Amino acid sequence: LTPHEVTVAALTGATVVVVDILRATTSMIWALDAGARRVWPVATVPAACALAKQLGPHCLLAGERGGLPLDGFDLGNSPSEFTPEQVTNRDIVMTTTNGTTALLHAQQARQVLIGAFANLSAVAEALRGSNEFHVLCAGTNGAATDEDSLFAGALMDRCLSADPDLSLSSQRTRQAWEQWRSIDQADLVGALRVSAGGRNLCQINQPADIQDAAIIDRCDCVPRYHHELGVALDHG
Amino acid sequence: LTPHEVTVAALTGATVVVVDILRATTSMIWALDAGARRVWPVATVPAACALAKQLGPHCLLAGERGGLPLDGFDLGNSPSEFTPEQVTNRDIVMTTTNGTTALLHAQQARQVLIGAFANLSAVAEALRGSNEFHVLCAGTNGAATDEDSLFAGALMDRCLSADPDLSLSSQRTRQAWEQWRSIDQADLVGALRVSAGGRNLCQINQPADIQDAAIIDRCDCVPRYHHELGVALDHG
């Protein structure tokens, strides 16, 4: 449910779905779906500086600190900012607080898929036939968050075989998803709004991002992360 | 003695010498003396990102936070890093904690000179015949620091006419300089070492910068700052 709960070693060679619903992975999916060439997740603002300098004026700087856009950056971290007009054929250097940490944590994995409600069915399809996979939730500042674990539960629900062998965390996310679904299937927005990440976004007056992040299967793509090649639809 | 003690309005149209002995103005002087084309002082790391991206791979990223070099940056903030090999014909994007704040505070001035012990005589010469000038000390995190006010006193000592009209702060810096000189003229290094900025540098294990900053008249140039053109030897 957070990067701290799993070792880098445990993810080595594995298939990992990285999730930061509000908002990093949602935004990456929207960006690549809108025609961005590549998203480069970097941990720190200085590292973003260095990479943006190297890539040159054609790249875009995106990201947040404390949820808010950074002074002088081209884009913040709202999915709706990543429009075709903005991002087509552009490389995007992105620095976010939690999502980047989760991606870097998974950099020894055999394959890293970028997941969010935006591409739920496409990720489930990509995982079909996998014997084993991990869902790595970004969380918020080291704490588990409902918006990510709710997605993990939704993905379990789509992927599971008749007799799955689930970790305790996975069982918990699946129960949470089923419980939520039995109460009010339609109101994913409401569920995200009361999550830790959702409350943060309301506090900084960006509630529209919650509605965007709740759109299921808006995109048909499954971006993948490679530690030397960034996040792209195809590293071939 | 700090930017907070003078309003932007009071500096508007004036001649201002900006001083951050440890280390921003010392490093800028060394850099331009070593052949750098221009130094761009920017307040924040994200703004440095944006400018470096715009300037492209040929520019250099320099600066510090908490006195330490920034991960991924080309250079820190030690004068000795700005060698001809590193900086000739390069634009340098520099973000430092205190020096940048002081420069931006003076951006409405008629002319802004970059001063340090490294160019003491050259600055004094450039001020010759001025009826009025301000010395704006960067200080450290809003507090006055001896290394800057000692330089201000040294400059007063060089520039003053027979019957000067000094502000209280200026009188104090001049007294401090005379008092220090009467005790131990040779040991500027020692005086800088016990200053607030000097103690910080010792704590982060960069004492060599103190010795470099104490070299008087190493350079013959007087860089000038223009808010749209950065710091350069000649804005013509």
Q: What is the DSSP letter of A30?
A: H
Q: pTM for this structure?
A: 0.82
Select the residue from A42, A51, A53 to test the B interface by mutation, using most B Cβ atoms within 10 A.
A53
Contacting residues of B for A56, CB less than 8 Å apart: 53, 56-57
B87 close to B35: Cβ distance less than 8 angstroms = yes
Contacting residues of A for B46, CB less than 8 Å apart: 45, 61, 70-73
Residue A57 sits at the chain B interface (C-beta within 8 Å): yes
Residue A47 sits at the chain B interface (C-beta within 8 Å): yes
Measured between CB atoms, which of A49, A61, A74 is closest to B72? A49
Burial class (CB in 10 A: 0-12, 13-18, 19+), A185: exposed
pLDDT digits (tens, 9 = 90+) for B143-201: 999 999 999 999 998 887 766 788 889 988 998 888 888 876 668 999 999 999 999 99
Task: Please determine, for residue B45, whether its predicted confidence score (pLDDT) is greater than 70.
Answer: yes
Helices (H), B91-186: 99-105, 120-127, 146-159, 168-184
Contacting residues of A for B61, CB less than 8 Å apart: 46, 49-50, 53
List, for chain A, all residue ranges whose pLDDT scores fall below the cut of 70: 162-163, 184-186, 235-236
Q: What is the pLDDT of residue A51?
A: 95
Q: What is the pLDDT of residue B117?
A: 97
Q: What is the pLDDT of residue A212?
A: 97
Question: Biggest alpha carbon distance in chain A?
Answer: 52
pLDDT digits (tens, 9 = 90+) for B66-101: 899 998 999 999 999 999 999 999 999 999 889 988
pLDDT digits (tens, 9 = 90+) for B6-26: 998 899 999 999 999 999 999
Distance CA A18, CA A23 (A): 12
Contacting residues of A for B45, CB less than 8 Å apart: 45-46, 49
Do the Cβ atoms of A50 and B72 come within 8 Å?
yes
Task: Please determine, for residue B3, whether its predicted confidence score (pLDDT) is greater than 80.
Answer: yes
Q: What is the mean pLDDT of residues B107-132?
A: 94
Q: What is the DSSP letter of B75?
A: B
Q: What is the pLDDT of residue A146?
A: 92
Torsion over CA: A185, A187, A189, A195 (sign) = negative
Contacting residues of A for B49, CB less than 8 Å apart: 45, 48-49, 52-53, 61, 70, 72-73
Q: What is the pLDDT of residue A136?
A: 97
Helices (H), A6-98: 8-11, 24-33, 45-55, 84-87
Do the Cβ atoms of B57 and A54 come within 8 Å?
yes
CB atoms within 10 A of CB B171: 13
Q: What is the pLDDT of residue A182?
A: 80
Task: Please determine, for residue B131, whether its predicted confidence score (pLDDT) is greater than 90.
Answer: no
Residue position matching structure tokens 């003491």: B120
Q: What is the pLDDT of residue B235?
A: 66
**Percent of chain B's residues with pLDDT above 70:** 97
Name the average pLDDT for chain B.
92
Query: How far does the CA of residue A47 sit from the closest CA of chain B (Å)?
Result: 5
Q: What is the pLDDT of residue B100?
A: 87
Residue A46 sits at the chain B interface (C-beta within 8 Å): yes
* CB-based contacts of B82, cutoff 8 Å, min separation 6: B27, B30, B31, B34, B36, B62, B75, B92
The order of strands in the sheet holding B68-69 is B68-69, B60-65, B91-95, B38-41, B230-232, B224-226, B111-115, B15-19, B134-137
Which band of pLDDT confidence, cut at 50, 70 and 90, is reported for residue B142?
A: confident
